[in-house]
Amino acid sequence: MAGEATVSLLRVKGPVEAIAGTVTVPGDKSISHRALILGALARGRTPVSGLLTAEDCINTARALVQMGVEIDNLGQSSVVIDGVGLRGLRSPTGVLDLGNSGTGMRLLMGVVAGQDFAATLTGDESLRQRPMDRIAQPLGQMGIKVAGQGEQCLPPVTVWGGNPRPITYQTPMASAQVKSAVLLAGLNAPGTTTVIEPARSRDHTERMLAALGAQVSVDGLQVSVEGNPDLSGREMVVPGDFSSAAFLLVAALLIPGSEVTVGGILLNSTRTGLLEILGRMGAKLEVSNRRQATGEPVGDITARASQLSATQVGGEVIPRMLDEVPILALAATQAEGQTVIRDAEELRVKESDRLAATAQVLSALGATIQQQPDGLVIDGPTRLQGAEVDSFGDHRIAMMAVVAGLIAEGQSVVTNTQCISTSFPEFADLLRDLGARVDEK
Ligand code: S3P
């Protein structure tokens, strides 16, 4: 569990020399969660390779095991899930602890909604501060009772599973977690369950459901699934996580003389908004070797050190680059002019308040950055100065801060970096493979 891990820190002395090389990153976190969950709900066996072995996904896998699912090689990147069928989960052997993972908790709330038992889900200190009312509301409309703490329905939450009714639900925010929870509950509802989003969020749930045999239709911002599908297990290959690759690619853009290729990366356009924005800023990014892996587009991405210019970011691209806003903000500190990021208020309810955390970390390193209620304003370019900064217990803030330390003048220490293991345990090792000196503790 992230909260129980020993406290660690990473130390870097910048500015580092050029980084170079070709690497691969671990499997996509969003797809790994879905492969575990849908493999469990399908009939028959689902062999998955390339699965992310980080804490978030292991916690989801353990929760499924607690509900009676057999997973061979749990903890490895190649597992075999013995599916129990749509309503075949068993009443769990205790509270389900999802650690740091909002995705694990929210998707499993949707799953439990369609089972014949009640389950209580909890998490670490960060997850216990994240709102679950966004899931409780649609599940309530489906006739499923959910109880949590306070008005925002904070964890621990209890979901009384049963017979969800199909609904048409307009989500107040573009959230793949909300969309997925409703669609997963809809698998055990008679008839058509529809989710309409204000902007397109990542679409891995609908793609994977279709690949396993469900009837899924997508019409603009509207996604529907027919209840009681015949889901059959099948082999799945999880591509590399674009959100993890982003830290290495931006490092290469910002460190003079660098050239880094990250191979086998997910290129789903609901995830790669950062590529478009960096391209507009003048980043030298090249995508090659495009191919498909289990219904998802995949390719290799090469980044070369680049002179960047500022840009304006907002609207529909934000959900397509949600987890990349902190690393984009770092890139913007090195870009010529004023970068404005808007419509990103959802970042305030992530593993940390990512707008506040990004602004604090980058200010401490000497950047000119201001928070807005829904975004950030960054003036560049600024020569960053080494400092001691905290991760706020958030993996994406920790990794952004380490990359910032690589280009800052002098020593930087990033504290509380154990959270990196929730999504990208190999991060520091890969930076070392590329030639950057990153010291632990
Ligand atoms: C995720 C959805 C996003 C993202 C998270 C993973 C998913 O969250 O930030 O890291 O796998 O569905 P929201 O649905 O809250 O936007």
Identify whether the C-beta of residue 38 lies closer than 8 Å to the C-beta of residue 232: no
Name the pLDDT band for 295 (thresholds 50, 70, 90): confident
Q: How many Å lie between the centroid of ligand 1 and the Cα of residue 71?
A: 24
Q: What is the residue-averaged pLDDT of the chain?
A: 97
Name the pLDDT band for 294 (thresholds 50, 70, 90): confident
Identify whether the C-beta of residue 403 lies closer than 8 Å to the C-beta of residue 334: no
* Residue 97 confidence (pLDDT): 98
Q: How many Å lie between the centroid of ligand 1 and the Cα of residue 103?
A: 6
List, for residues 271-282, the tens digit of each pLDDT value: 999 999 999 999
Among protein residues, the one with the nearest Cα to ligand 1's atom 9 is: 323
Q: How many Å lie between the centroid of ligand 1 and the Cα of residue 250?
A: 21
Ligand 1 atom closest to the CA of 34, numbered from 1: 11
Ligand 1 atom closest to the CA of 179, numbered from 1: 14
112 lines ligand 1 (CB under 6 A): no
List, for residues 176-231, the tens digit of each pLDDT value: 999 999 999 999 999 999 999 999 999 999 999 999 999 999 999 999 999 999 99
List, for residues 19-52, the tens digit of each pLDDT value: 999 999 999 999 999 999 999 999 999 999 999 9
Average pLDDT over residues 402-426: 98
Cα separation, 194 vs 141, whole angstroms: 12
| Domains recognised in the chain with CATH numbers | 9-27+239-440 (3.65.10.10), 29-226 (3.65.10.10)
Nearest in space to 161 (alpha carbons), one of 232, 71, 207, 96 = 96
Among protein residues, the one with the nearest Cα to ligand 1's atom 5 is: 103
151-186: buried (b, 16+ CB within 10 Å) or exposed (e) per residue? eebbbbbbbebbebbbbebebeebbbbbbbbbbbbb
Residue 6 has pLDDT above 70, yes or no: no
Q: How many Å lie between the centroid of ligand 1 and the Cα of residue 182?
A: 14
Of the residues 60, 175, 178, which should be mutated to test ligand 1's pocket, given the most ligand atoms within 8 Å of the CB?
175
Q: Indicate if 203 belongs to the active site.
A: no
Tell me the two tokens of residue 15: 């500015």
Q: Which of 97, 124, 203, 323 is catalytic?
A: 323
103 lines ligand 1 (CB under 6 A): yes
Q: How many Å lie between the centroid of ligand 1 and the Cα of residue 115?
A: 24
Average pLDDT over residues 341-364: 98
Distances (CA, A) of 158 to 1, 31, 38: 20, 25, 21
Identify whether the C-beta of residue 158 lies closer than 8 Å to the C-beta of residue 146: yes
List, for residues 231-289, the tens digit of each pLDDT value: 999 999 999 999 999 999 999 999 999 999 999 999 999 999 999 999 999 999 999 99
Tell me the two tokens of residue 354: 């990512």
